C-alpha cells in the first residue's frame, strides 16, 4: 500500500506539471499567431519603407565581440528606474548604458547619455520616445520593422537586427550580407 500510494503521489504532480507545460506552450503559440495576424501588414509596410536605411546601416553582427569585457547596464522604464536613476549617473563613463526607448527621456533629463538605445515596437506611437531630444552620440538598435517615423527622428547611428522578415527578404538581405 505504501509503495502504491507513493507512486500515485509522485505520478500525480508530474502529470499536472506536464499538462501545465503543454497548455503553456499552446498558449504561447496562440499569442504568437494572434500577434502575427495583427501586425503582419504593418511589419511588411515598415520593412519596405526602411529598405534604404537597412542597406545603408550595418546589421547587429557589427557589434559581435566589440564590447567584450565592458560592463553594461540595461535600463528599462518603470518604478525601478525612478528609484535608481541617480545611481546611473555615477556609472556613466565606467560602463556601457543600454536604454530602452521608454527610458531615454528620463535618462537624458538626468544628464545620462546612454551608449545605445533599443527599440522593438513597430508601431508609430513609439516615436514619442524620440521626439524633442537629441540622439547625437548614441546608437539605435532596432529591428528592420521599426516604424519609419522613428528613423526619421533619429539623429545618431542605427544598427538593425532582422527578427521579423519573410523568407524572401531574408534571402535578399543574406545575399547582400546585411545579416
Q: What is the distance in angstroms between the CA of the first residue and the CA of the last residue of the chain?
A: 62
- Residue 24 pLDDT exceeds 60: yes
Confidence of residue 173 (pLDDT cuts 50, 70, 90): very low
pLDDT value at residue 179: 40
Per-residue pLDDT tens for 60-89?
A: 888 877 888 889 999 999 888 988 898 898
pTM score above 0.75: no
Amino acid at each position: 500500500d505504501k509503495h502504491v500510494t507513493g507512486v500515485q503521489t509522485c505520478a500525480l504532480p508530474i502529470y499536472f506539471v506536464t499538462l501545465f507545460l503543454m497548455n503553456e506552450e499552446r498558449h504561447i503559440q496562440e499569442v504568437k499567431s494572434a500577434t502575427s495576424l495583427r501586425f503582419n501588414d504593418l511589419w511588411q509596410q515598415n520593412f519596405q519603407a526602411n529598405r534604404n536605411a537597412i542597406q545603408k546601416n550595418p546589421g547587429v553582427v557589427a557589434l559581435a565581440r566589440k564590447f567584450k569585457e565592458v560592463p553594461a547596464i540595461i535600463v528599462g522604464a518603470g518604478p525601478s528606474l525612478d528609484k535608481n536613476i541617480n545611481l546611473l549617473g555615477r556609472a556613466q563613463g565606467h560602463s556601457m548604458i543600454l536604454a530602452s526607448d521608454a527610458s531615454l527621456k528620463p535618462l537624458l533629463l538626468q544628464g545620462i547619455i546612454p551608449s545605445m538605445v533599443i527599440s522593438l515596437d513597430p508601431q508609430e506611437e513609439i516615436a514619442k520616445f524620440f521626439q524633442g531630444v537629441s540622439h547625437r552620440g548614441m546608437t539605435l538598435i532596432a529591428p528592420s520593422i521599426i516604424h519609419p517615423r522613428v528613423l526619421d527622428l533619429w539623429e545618431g547611428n542605427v544598427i538593425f537586427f532582422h527578427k521579423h522578415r519573410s523568407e524572401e527578404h531574408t534571402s535578399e538581405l543574406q545575399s547582400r550580407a546585411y545579416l
